[in-house]
A and B are shown apart, each in its own frame.
Chain A
Amino acid sequence: MNVEWQAILNDASTMDEASSREQDRELEAVVRRHARLVYRISYLLLRNHHDAEDATQETFVRVWRHRERLPEVLDRQAWLARIAWRVALDRRKKAAEISLTDAAEAVFNLYAAGESAEKIASDKQMAVLLDQMIATLPGKLREPMMLSLNQELTNAEISKVLSIPENSVRTRLFRARQLLRQKLSSILG
């Protein structure tokens, strides 16, 4: 083979390897920076540590498959949140029948015993009750509400994840909070 051609091929091979190494480094940086965000989004939908971790793994495997696109992505956090959201939605099992009675009664008993809002909020039963209340929200309000529970995501990022305007996110969040407050008042009242 001609020496010049060999040199060109060697250069191409070296460039491929360098590009591959660069992609690996970039992917590792993305994992280290955003793995927790992905996990939290997964957990919000799946409400189970094991399922949330599996969804996190799957999210990054999908990212790995499209790693060549990473340099083109401007808002990586929103991009990852969107993938995580879709993976978790795919994995979410059909919601079980919702019974607010037990959790509501437990929370009401805490309130009746004179516990503070912070104390009641940290109780496991309150988390169950909140899950159930969110699950009863209409889909359009539920999705931005769940994403907003992840403190890392801004309204702009939520709008990218859900592909809706940022104003709609604000309106829906306001409406969702209103409904939750009403539900809480009626449950405990």
Chain B
Amino acid sequence: MREGKRLDEKFAEELLDAALINHGAEPMAGLEERVLENLRRQSRVAHPVLWRLTSAMIAAAAVVLLFAIDHLIYHRIASNPEVAEISKSDNLRGLHHTDQATVQEKAGEKIGSLKPAKSLTAYSSRRQYLVFNSKSQHKDIRQNSGLQVDEVRISEIKLDDIVIGSNDH
């Protein structure tokens, strides 16, 4: 044991120097490789040009695909004689029916004769059904006066609702 158990200034200085020199730490082996690997990963994940190009290509492909499907289905429907029949009968809905009850009654009769469930299946979806009907009504609009437009739309909506209802039954 040291005499007086006291550090003199010289020993304190010596101890401090030695402690300060020893104070650092060395990393585990392979630090550089781990850092580089991490940077490569970052580079792959966040390569901006590649990422933007890929996103743009995917978006473009999706749009083209949607248009192609829509176009094909429309042509298939238009060339189908059953659908043409429905279209003809749908033209009747372009008449002047301001009375809602009359419209519904007439629409009900039409639905009854055309077997609405079957006519719906002729279309690939409810959306196709509506799209096609609206197209056939454009012809009506051209043939008749412009004032009929709103009425046609109203009758079509009602008819559609009735069709769904009759399917449920």
Q: How large is the interface on B (under 10, 10 to 19, 20 to 34, 35 or more residues)?
A: 20 to 34
For A118, what are the chain B residues with a Cβ–Cβ distance below 8 Å? 18
Residues of A within 8 A of B15 (CB): 117, 120-121, 126, 184
Given known contacts A112-B2, A149-B20, A35 and B27 CB-to-CB distance under 8 angstroms: yes
Return A126 CB to nearest CB of chain B, in Å: 5
Q: Are A60 and B35 in contact (CB under 8 A)?
A: yes
Knowing A35-B31, A35-B35 are in contact, say whether A149-B12 is a contact too (CB < 8 A). no
Please measure, in the bound complex, the distance between the C-alpha atom of A35 and the C-alpha atom of B12, giving whole angstroms: 33
Is B31 touching A36 in the complex (CB atoms < 8 A)?
A: yes
- Which residues, 4 to 54 on B, are CB-close (under 8 Å) to A? 5-7, 9, 11-16, 18-28, 31-32, 34-36, 38-39, 42-43
In contact, A181 and B35 (Cβ under 8 angstroms): no
A117 CA to B10 CA, complexed, in Å: 10
B43 touches A35 (CB 8 A): no
State how many residues of chain A have any CB contact under 8 Å with chain B: 42
21 pairs from A and B in contact (CB 8 Å cutoff): A27-B39, A31-B35, A32-B32, A36-B27, A40-B25, A44-B23, A57-B34, A60-B35, A60-B38, A64-B39, A64-B42, A117-B18, A118-B18, A122-B18, A126-B19, A127-B22, A149-B20, A151-B21, A181-B16, A185-B7, A188-B12
Is the CB of A53 closer than 8 A to any CB of chain B?
Answer: yes
A164 within 8 A of B: no
**Which residues of chain B have C-beta atoms less than 8 A from A185's C-beta?**
7, 9, 12
Pair B24/A117 contact, Cβ less than 8 Å: no
B36 touches A28 (CB 8 A): yes
Q: Is A130 an interface residue (CB 8 A)?
A: yes
Name the contact of B16 in the complex, choosing from A43, A44, A111, A180 (C-beta under 8 A): A180
Residues of the A chain whose Cβ atoms lie less than 8 Å from the Cβ of B7: 111, 184-185, 188-189
